[in-house]
Structure 1
Amino acid sequence: MSRPSPRIEIAHEALKQAILERALQPGTRLPEDEIGAHFSMSRTLVRAVLARLQSEGLVDAQPKRTATVALPTLAEARDVFETRRALEAEVVRLVIKRWKPAFGAELEGLVREEDAARERGEEHVWGRLAGEFHIRLAKLSGNAVIEKYMAELVTRCSLILAVFGRPHQHDGGADEHAHIIAALRSGDADRAVAIMAHHMGAVEARAITGQDEDNRPALGDVLARYAGAITARETAIPLTRKVRGK
């Protein structure tokens, strides 16, 4: 099977990271021509990127309508967290069964990255890394299906936080992750599940609380920032820097 073109990969990663870090707020329009101009891509390739993001629960793309960053309802938010709580408990049980000392070192590395982002004042980066902690934990469960669904649930929770939650706030998430690691090391599945349940309850309380301010930057500015950083890191493909505003 042929691999997606580098342009598609860069566009997908730039948009996904911008959404997860809430640089692109739920409901933001994603015009195909503007995205295509930044990545020198045809509308066909842009649609492939948007379809991929839609399959991950990040984008709402309807026929004959401009795609937007997905905008969850309060009922959907509650359903997502109900499902995630159940899946997180099973992840903990599976990880304990497969536990190796290397797992702890790997997870602690992510917690250090969270702490560093918080100390730099990069709250949105910190939030994305907090989600990655749970995705990595699901990967360590050894169940590829659980890992896939957990990744989708985590991204949906990020959108829920953007709509209903309290962004830009130090909420102790990294400390809670450290407690989860300690519980996993203990090998006590019941205790670890209880700690995870408490953590998820706190996450839900932070995520479903109120309305965020509608202070949306221009799509072109966001794409230039994220795509430029990704391109500098991974490839030398030139990108268009300026796009006429919509």
Structure 2
Amino acid sequence: MSDDKNTLTDAVHDLLQKAIIEQALTPGMRLPEDTVGEQFGVSRTIVRHALVRLENEGLVVTRRNRGAFVAEPSREEAQQVFAVRRCLENEVIRILCQQMPENGYDRLEAHVRSEQNVKGKDGPVSIRLAGEFHVLLAELTGNDVLARYVSEVVRRGSLIMSMYARNHSSDCAVDEHSQIIEAIRAGDAERAIHIMDHHLGAVAGRAEFPSRLDSVQSILSHYGKELAQ
């Protein structure tokens, strides 16, 4: 694949991923290649490559003779994802309590300020920033493999949230992010892990499937504008 195609595939992948994480594209929604291509102004081949990457990340599923759909994690899969996420994020905390990069706390605190700035203003952005906080923690460990796995389970967690979690205020999440930072700063891994466990345990085990009336076209028209810029 040429560099141009790679660049376009990356862009389409990133925008579709963003639309899923921000819960604009909801579980079970069909993603026709021609529709996605039209909204982003790219070929079906580009779309197909992007969808394959999303499928490998657990965000999309392909059904024979029906095409691609936003994944619908089962309750069992949801429990497994969050069990793995707890293990990975606990390890992140243990590492950071022992060693934090020189600018680590500045980056974390700047991110929390970004979260505070959108509290009560933009739900989708709050959802995305909340996930990015956890990815940033993992990146600060300096362990690229660990960061990659945390990033994947965080994205899948956002998809699960759109299926199983009740609506909740972002205030608690941002406050707990600040508490996690302070516990790590104090070198108190036990407290930081306790807060993280409570934080991740906020995902409800009850299904509340949202009623989504928007079409794929109308949703992706918003994200397509970003690609055109």
- In the superposition, the TM-score normalised over structure 1's length comes to 0.86
CA distance in 2, matches of 1:161, 1:103: 28
Count of residues in Structure 1 that have an aligned counterpart in Structure 2: 228
Q: Is the CA contact (8 Å cut-off) linking 1:92 and 1:193 kept in structure 2?
A: yes
CA distance in 2, matches of 1:154, 1:215: 23
- What is the match of residue 158 of structure 2? 158
- What is the match of residue 7 of structure 1? 8
SS at match of 1:61: strand
- What is the match of residue 211 of structure 1? 208
Moved more, 84-93 or 223-232: 223-232
- What is the match of residue 149 of structure 2? 149
Note if 1:44 corresponds to 2:41: no
Q: Relative to 1, partners in 2 of residues 1:7 and 1:153: Cα closer, same or farther, differing over 3 Å?
A: same
- In the superposition, the TM-score normalised over structure 2's length comes to 0.92
Note if 1:24 corresponds to 2:21: no
Deviation at 1:133, TM superposition (A): 0.4
Q: Is the CA contact (8 Å cut-off) linking 2:29 and 2:70 kept in structure 1?
A: yes
Q: How large is the RMSD of aligned CA atoms in angstroms? A: 1.9
Deviation at 1:11, TM superposition (A): 1.3
Q: Relative to 1, partners in 2 of residues 1:179 and 1:2: Cα closer, same or farther, differing over 3 Å?
A: farther
Q: Is the CA contact (8 Å cut-off) linking 1:24 and 1:217 kept in structure 2?
A: no
Deviation at 1:36, TM superposition (A): 1.5
Q: Deviations over 1:159-210 (max 9, x none)?
A: 1110111236345100000000001111122232222222222x334xx333
| Matched letter for residue 209 of structure 1 | R
Deviation at 1:75, TM superposition (A): 1.0
Deviation at 1:111, TM superposition (A): 1.0
Q: Relative to 1, partners in 2 of residues 1:46 and 1:229: Cα closer, same or farther, differing over 3 Å?
A: closer
CA distance in 2, matches of 1:23, 1:155: 14
Q: Relative to 1, partners in 2 of residues 1:130 and 1:170: Cα closer, same or farther, differing over 3 Å?
A: closer
Moved more, 170-179 or 211-220: 211-220
CA distance in 2, matches of 1:231, 1:97: 44
Q: Deviations over 1:32-52 (max 9, x none)?
A: 111122233332221101001
Which runs of 5 or more structure 1 residues have no equivalent in the other structure? 233-246
Moved more, 168-177 or 80-89: 168-177
